[in-house]
């Protein structure tokens, strides 16, 4: 509370001998919060020159209208007395609105009016009148000011988007501060910088409402010409209000504004797949612009600018693309605000690899010894690499394959694999079946095969012939009737036949491989070897001879013994010392067959040695079992 010197009225009363006067002060205003107690002092003093103290009489008045501002003529409004008396006898006037709410105290300095539970209607002038008889009268006037701080301001941003193309400032937010007294002020801020109303840029409209409580509620509306930069701006408001002796402020929260601005730039790019695109892929193109809200886009191809492609908002999906889908794609925003034509553009390249074309196709018949050049080509948008395979093995590289002086071994399936190294998932292949025709050709070099075999044994003769068509093999035997085919196999280019023949005497055989294109013949001659040979001192045949001699001798001995026994029968008994039983080993009749396989590198002399060695091993094995 600030005490200011106030105007005071001095009345000079004339006495015969003494001059005295009453002087005093009262604050021009007293400020207090609503509901608090207010104290209004009225200080006075009597200056005496030469006199006894005067008797003092105090009265307190209020102006009848609580709102002097409403009153046109302040002077005409009535004063109402609310108190009268002195320090001995004080009286609160009955039937005033202050009858129960005031107290008046006295002290050396003067008097003090206390008002409890200050109401808004207490904002009015209070008058103090001091009557000091001879010393005169003092009148003071104090304005009581009542304050009620408003509630925190509530800001509400506009929910709809605001376009930067609006010519005039648009409503951005409202701010309400309720229940304050006196009227609070509202200030607007953008990014914590105060917004000053400016024609064409910032308008602020304020409405105040007098509530039934006589408090004021303020509603402020901010109109602002938004620009693109405002899309991230924060708007806030602040309420400022008087309190006793000060100004206070409360800030609102921040609100943003959804700024709508036209698209000035559009980008188009491929979202998927990554890397190179091949036929059959599903391609996604995405269009993005810098406008807000994001516009709908129209997709088209450069070659048909007026044909809109069907797209979902900002993504164009191309299912199972083909090379025909290659080209330049464009997207444009479907945006009313956009004045200039903006578009995004990109090139799509769909790569392809056509099926491989082989020359010759499918299959090719050659005659043994001929040459062939095969080609394998696949049309592609990329550089390709070709590899030839046969039976799982690589036989060539590049799109041509040269086969020179073809042999039966070179016949078969040739596969060419074409790949695009830069796009490995692109590949194709083709195959050609090469047939090599020709007369039969027996495997092995010798014209005649010579063998030796023990009589009674079995011999396998084998004959393998290459050729196409597959040769048929016939056997002709001279000197033996007991032979049979035990194995025969025929594939496209190879025929094999094995015959088993029993050796009884010398045999000569002929293997005749033939087809439409010729025949090849191989002769076999088997020399039958008798059972006993001189070459082996421990041969089973020699051992048998000794046994036969022993048996004959034993039989002779038995005959002699028999006749001796018969002769002695008449004279006495003579026992025979030996049982006379003799085991006779039977010739082992196992027939150990010898296989004679044709080996192309083997020479006929070497072959004969092999056969002899083989037999020797067999003899060794039989020997001990007969001893």
Ligand X SMILES: *[C@@H]1O[C@H](CO)[C@@H](O)[C@H](O)[C@H]1NC(C)=O
Burial classification of residue 26, based on how many CB atoms lie within 10 Å of its CB (0-12 exposed, 13-18 middle, 19 or more buried): buried
State yes or no: residue 44 binds ligand X (CB under 6 A).
no
Site string for ligand X, 414-453 (x = CB under 6 A): ----------------------------------------
Q: How many residues bind ligand X (CB under 6 A)?
A: 19
Retrieve residue 270's tokens.
């491929």
Residue 501 C-beta: closest distance to ligand X, Å: 10
Residue 473 C-beta: closest distance to ligand X, Å: 10
Retrieve residue 245's tokens.
């002796």
Q: How far apart are CA 211 and CA 208, in angstroms?
A: 9
Sign of the CA dihedral running 387, 390, 394, 400: negative
Q: Of residues 224, 242, 299, 408, which one binds ligand X by CB under 6 A?
A: 242
Residue 198 C-beta: closest distance to ligand X, Å: 16
Q: Of residues 247, 367, 574, 616, which one binds ligand X by CB under 6 A?
A: 247
Burial classification of residue 181, based on how many CB atoms lie within 10 Å of its CB (0-12 exposed, 13-18 middle, 19 or more buried): buried
Which residue's CB is nearer to ligand X, number 210 or number 243?
Answer: 243
Give the footprint of ligand X on residues 268-287 (CB under 6 A).
Answer: none
State yes or no: residue 506 binds ligand X (CB under 6 A).
no
Site string for ligand X, 450-489 (x = CB under 6 A): --------x-x-------------------------xx--
For residue 397, how many C-alpha atoms fall within 13 Å in the half-sphere facing its CB?
1
Beta strands 507-515 and 393-397: pairing type? unpaired
Q: Of residues 216, 241, 329, 388, which one binds ligand X by CB under 6 A?
A: 241
Element of type H or E holding 334: strand 327-334
Stretch that binds ligand X, among 8-16, 278-286, 463-471, 590-598 (CB under 6 A): 590-598
Which residue's CB is nearer to ligand X, number 556 or number 595?
Answer: 595
DSSP 3-state assignment of 75? helix
Which residue's CB is nearer to ligand X, number 149 or number 344?
Answer: 149
Q: Of residues 512, 522, 598, 615, which one binds ligand X by CB under 6 A?
A: 512
State yes or no: residue 521 binds ligand X (CB under 6 A).
yes
Decide: 509 and 521 in contact? Cβ < 8 Å. Answer: no
Residue 597 C-beta: closest distance to ligand X, Å: 9
- DSSP state string for 211-263: -TTS-EEEEEEEEE---GGGGG--EEEEEEEEETTEEEEEE---B---EEB--
Which residue's CB is nearer to ligand X, number 239 or number 403?
Answer: 239
Which residue's CB is nearer to ligand X, number 487 or number 559?
Answer: 487
Alpha-carbon separation of residue 330 from 52, 298, 312, 335 (angstroms): 110, 8, 15, 15
State yes or no: residue 148 binds ligand X (CB under 6 A).
no
Residue 329 C-beta: closest distance to ligand X, Å: 59
Residue 558 C-beta: closest distance to ligand X, Å: 45
Which residue's CB is nearer to ligand X, number 154 or number 521?
Answer: 521
Residue 8 C-beta: closest distance to ligand X, Å: 30
Instruction: Tell me the Ramachandran region of residue 481: left when phi exceeds 0, alpha when psi lies from -120 to 50, beta otherwise.
Output: alpha
Residue 37 C-beta: closest distance to ligand X, Å: 24
State yes or no: residue 264 binds ligand X (CB under 6 A).
no
DSSP 3-state assignment of 323? helix
Stretch that binds ligand X, among 7-15, 29-37, 165-173, 589-597 (CB under 6 A): 589-597
State yes or no: residue 185 binds ligand X (CB under 6 A).
yes
Element of type H or E holding 626: helix 604-626
Which residue's CB is nearer to ligand X, number 348 or number 523?
Answer: 523
Give the footprint of ligand X on residues 211-240 (CB under 6 A).
Answer: 240
Residue 563 C-beta: closest distance to ligand X, Å: 54
Residue 339 C-beta: closest distance to ligand X, Å: 41
Which residue's CB is nearer to ligand X, number 353 or number 611?
Answer: 611
Stretch that binds ligand X, among 69-77, 316-324, 513-521, 617-625 (CB under 6 A): 513-521
Task: State the residue number with the nearest CB to ligand X.
Answer: 593
Which residue's CB is nearer to ligand X, number 240 or number 429?
Answer: 240
Which residue's CB is nearer to ligand X, number 366 or number 503?
Answer: 503
Decide: 169 and 162 in contact? Cβ < 8 Å. Answer: no
Which residue's CB is nearer to ligand X, number 131 or number 512?
Answer: 512
Q: What count of other Cβ atoms lies within 10 Å of the Cβ of residue 56?
A: 19
Q: How far apart are CA 440 and CA 423, in angstroms?
A: 47
DSSP 3-state assignment of 503? coil
- Tell me phi and psi for residue 399, to 5 degrees: -85, 0
SS (H, E, C) 410-473: HCEEEEEEEECCCCCCCEEEEEEEEEEEEEEEECCCCCEEEEEEECCCEEEEEEEEEEECCCEE
Please list, in sequence order, all residues whose beta carbon lies within 8 angstroms of the beta carbon of residue 560, skipping any fewer than 6 positions away: none
Which residue's CB is nearer to ligand X, number 54 or number 252?
Answer: 252
Residue 374 C-beta: closest distance to ligand X, Å: 34
Which residue's CB is nearer to ligand X, number 134 or number 453?
Answer: 453
Retrieve residue 406's tokens.
């073809």
- DSSP state string for 561-617: HHHHHHHHHTT-----SS------PPPP-----EEE---TT--HHHHHHHHHHHHHH
Residues that bind ligand X (CB under 6 A): 184-185, 240-242, 247, 458, 460, 486-487, 498, 500, 512, 514, 519, 521, 593-595
């Amino acid at each position: 509370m600030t005490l200011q010197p106030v105007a005071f009225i001095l009345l000079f009363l004339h006495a015969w001998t003494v001059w005295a006067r009453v002087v005093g002060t009262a604050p021009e205003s007293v400020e207090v919060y609503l509901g608090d107690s207010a104290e209004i002092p009225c200080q006075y003093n009597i200056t005496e020159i030469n006199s006894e103290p005067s008797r003092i009489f105090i009265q307190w008045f209020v102006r009848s209208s609580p709102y002097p501002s409403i009153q046109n003529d302040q002077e005409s409004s009535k004063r109402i007395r609310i108190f009268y008396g002195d320090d001995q006898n004080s009286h609160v006037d009955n039937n005033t609105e202050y009858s129960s709410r005031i107290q008046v105290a006295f002290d050396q300095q003067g008097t003090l009016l206390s008002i409890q539970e200050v109401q808004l209607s207490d904002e009015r002038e209070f008058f103090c009148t001091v009557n000091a008889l001879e010393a005169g009268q003092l009148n003071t006037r104090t304005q009581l000011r009542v304050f009620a701080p408003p509630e925190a301001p509530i800001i509400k941003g506009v929910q709809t988007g605001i376009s930067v193309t609006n010519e005039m400032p648009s409503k951005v937010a409202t701010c309400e501060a309720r229940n304050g007294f006196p009227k609070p002020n509202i200030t607007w801020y953008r990014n914590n910088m105060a917004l000053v109303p400016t024609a064409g840029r910032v308008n602020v409209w304020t409405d105040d409402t007098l509530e039934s409580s006589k408090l004021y509620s303020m509603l402020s509306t901010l109109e602002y010409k938004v620009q693109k930069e405002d899309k991230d701006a924060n708007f806030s408001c602040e309420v400022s209000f008087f309190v006793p002796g000060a100004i206070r402020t409360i800030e609102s929260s921040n609100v943003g504004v959804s700024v709508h601005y036209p698209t000035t730039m559009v980008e188009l790019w491929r979202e998927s797949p990554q890397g190179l695109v091949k036929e059959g892929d599903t391609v996604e193109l995405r269009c993005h612009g810098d406008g807000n809200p994001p516009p709908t886009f129209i997709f088209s191809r450069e070659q048909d600018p007026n044909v809109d492609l069907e797209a979902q908002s900002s993504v164009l999906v191309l299912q199972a693309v083909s090379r025909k889908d290659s080209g330049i794609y464009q997207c444009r925003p479907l945006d009313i605000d956009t004045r200039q034509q903006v578009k995004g553009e990109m090139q799509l390249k769909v790569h392809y690899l056509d099926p491989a074309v082989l020359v010759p196709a499918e299959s090719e018949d050659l005659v043994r010894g001929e040459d062939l050049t095969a080609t394998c080509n696949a049309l592609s948008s990329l550089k390709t690499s070709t590899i030839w395979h046969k039976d799982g093995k690589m036989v060539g590289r590049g799109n041509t394959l040269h086969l020179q002086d073809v042999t039966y071994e070179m016949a078969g399936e040739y596969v060419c694999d074409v790949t695009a190294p830069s796009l490995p998932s692109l590949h194709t292949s083709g195959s050609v079946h090469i047939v090599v025709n020709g007369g039969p050709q027996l495997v092995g070099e010798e014209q005649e095969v010579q063998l030796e075999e023990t009589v009674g044994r079995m011999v396998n003769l084998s004959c393998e012939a290459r050729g196409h068509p597959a040769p048929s093999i016939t056997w002709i035997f001279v000197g033996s009737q007991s032979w049979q085919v035990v194995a025969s196999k025929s594939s496209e280019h190879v025929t094999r036949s094995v015959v088993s023949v029993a050796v009884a005497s010398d045999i000569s055989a002929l293997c005749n491989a033939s087809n439409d294109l010729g025949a090849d013949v191989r002769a076999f001659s088997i020399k039958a070897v008798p059972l006993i040979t001189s070459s082996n001192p421990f041969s089973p045949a020699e051992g048998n001879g000794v046994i036969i001699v022993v048996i004959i001798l034993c039989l002779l001995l038995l005959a002699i013994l028999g006749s001796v026994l018969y002769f002695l029968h008449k004279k006495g008994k003579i026992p025979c010392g030996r049982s006379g039983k003799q085991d006779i080993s039977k010739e082992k009749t196992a027939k150990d067959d010898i296989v004679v396989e044709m080996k192309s590198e083997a020479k006929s002399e070497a072959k004969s040695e092999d056969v002899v060695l083989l037999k020797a091993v067999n003899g060794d094995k039989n020997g001990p079992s007969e001893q």
